[in-house]
Structure 1
Amino acid sequence: MAIRDLIPWKSQGQDIAPRQEERVDHPVMSLHRDINRLFDDMFRGFSMPSLPSIGRSIGWPRVELSENAKEVRVTAELPGMEEKDIEISLDDHELVIRGEKKSDTNDEERGYSERRYGRFERRIGLPSQIDEEKVEAAFRNGVLTITVPRTAEATKGRKTFPINAG
């Protein structure tokens, strides 16, 4: 007995799933591929990821947080942006990073023009004992680094505890 005989979804001796050679020329599969290609091309034209990875781009820009006893450091990846396009503020112990990117391309020789526009805002909660007057920001090579120092009271009151196994 062959393994194919054990498959429960056979109907009168024929497989429901088409064979590989039938899939290539089947009109429905061809239409399916064309529509997928159309959507991929459309999203690629807007500098967006294709459909399968669209959920990964929701948290743009990508932000990394690190902290120690003295400071909280926030690093944001902002490729292709300039300092003038970025705004940083503190709002009720939240670090707010806003940005706006505009691009105009006009090619009269080829007879087309293109405009791109995008805006983002990220809010990052900060601890309550920070020194708001000494916040520093640096932007270099598309990477924004924000350093938020802790207050003297915060560094004194910090305690570490040992972890007991078992």
Structure 2
Amino acid sequence: MRRQQPDATAWSEAPDPVLALAQGELAFYERVRDSARLWYRVSELGALATSSATVVAAGLHAPAWLTAIIAGGALFFTGFRQVFAHGPRYVLAAQSRETLRRAVNRYRLLPEADRDETARRELLAAVEQVGDEELRQWVEQRSRATVGGADPTGGPALP
């Protein structure tokens, strides 16, 4: 997933910088998850609709040019789905977001007086763990795609 460069002063100057950092990461994963979910649905429905329409057009003896255009659309959606891999990206972003959401909730449920250095370290560790896990999964998928020639999820590894 491509990550926008965070504004270093935005979270570091907040009253609770670790919480602000975690909330910024949470917002990032929510945006990525929502975008990937939308594109996943578009590509899957497009592939389904054009594949089905190709069969129907051929069955109805539609002109060859029309059947070819519809089949080209099906091929486009299949390639789009494989190149951008919105399905795996959606799953990864949803997992990351959920992990961070729970960590932020645990932290925010603590009374202000109990949000000490230990609690902040735990929240920061959760933020870093999510980033590490995302990187690990990306590297693992890239390695599988490079070694095996294809990603077992049906698309290429996440960029």
**Do both share a fold (TM > 0.5)?**
no
- Report the structure, 1 or 2, having the larger strand content: 1
TM-score (norm 1): 0.27
Asked which structure has the greater RCO (Cα within 8 Å, sep 6+), the reply is: 2
Bigger radius of gyration among the two: 1
- Report the structure, 1 or 2, having the larger helix content: 2
TM-score (norm 2): 0.28
